[in-house]
Each structure stands twice: as structure tokens, then as C-alpha cells.
């Protein structure tokens, strides 16, 4: 979702980048748990989810307060 929001420019680029960066970090955390590098209930396992949680919470707050920006693609229609 961060990638789509980045390309459509409906939200600020920095907010989209948090989602783009947070996704692979969460994915790496899942694989670390899957292959036994860290425990499922280890404190570090929760740290992998923080960037995605930050993205989702801040996206919700941003959309409630400001809403989507007009899309440059549809602005000329």
C-alpha cells in the first residue's frame, strides 16, 4: 500500500516511505522467526512490527485530519 500511495502522491512521500521501508523489515522479522533465528515471543520480534504500525497509525490520523491530496493524474480531467 505504501508503494501505491508513493506513486499516486495521494499522501506525503515521507509517510509512504515509512510503509515502503517497514514492509521488508516486517518480512525479515517473519523469516527470522520461521527459521528459528529469534523466538516467536522474543521482545525483538515485536520491534520488527514497529515501522509498519507507525505507518498504519500515522496514515489513519493523516487521512482523518487532512484527507487525500488531489491526484496529479486526475487533476487535469
Q: How many structural domains compose the chain?
A: 1
Predicted confidence (pLDDT) at residue 69 exceeds the cutoff of 80: no
Does residue 73 belong to any structural domain of this protein?
A: no
Task: Answer whether residue 70 is part of any domain.
Answer: no
pLDDT tens per residue across span 19-54 = 999 999 999 999 999 999 999 999 998 999 999 999
Does some domain include residue 72? no
Residue 76 domain-assigned (yes or no): no
Query: Does 6 have pLDDT greater than 60?
Result: yes
Radius of gyration, CA atoms only, the chain: 16
C-alpha cell at 14: 515521507
Q: Is residue 38 in a domain?
A: yes
pTM, rounded to two decimals: 0.79
pLDDT value of residue 9: 86
% of the chain at pLDDT higher than 90:
65
- Can you tell me the distance from the alpha carbon of 4 to that of 55, in angstroms, rounded to the nearest whole number? 14
Residue 40 lies in a domain: yes
Amino acid at each position: 500500500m505504501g508503494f501505491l500511495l508513493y506513486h499516486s502522491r495521494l499522501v506525503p512521500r515521507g509517510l509512504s516511505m515509512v510503509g515502503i521501508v517497514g514492509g521488508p523489515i516486517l518480512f525479515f522479522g517473519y523469516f527470522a522467526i520461521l527459521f528459528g533465528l529469534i523466538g516467536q515471543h522474543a521482545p525483538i520480534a515485536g520491534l520488527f512490527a514497529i515501522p509498519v504500525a507507525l505507518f498504519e497509525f500515522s496514515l489513519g490520523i493523516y487521512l482523518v485530519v487532512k484527507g487525500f491530496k488531489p491526484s496529479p493524474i486526475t487533476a487535469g480531467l
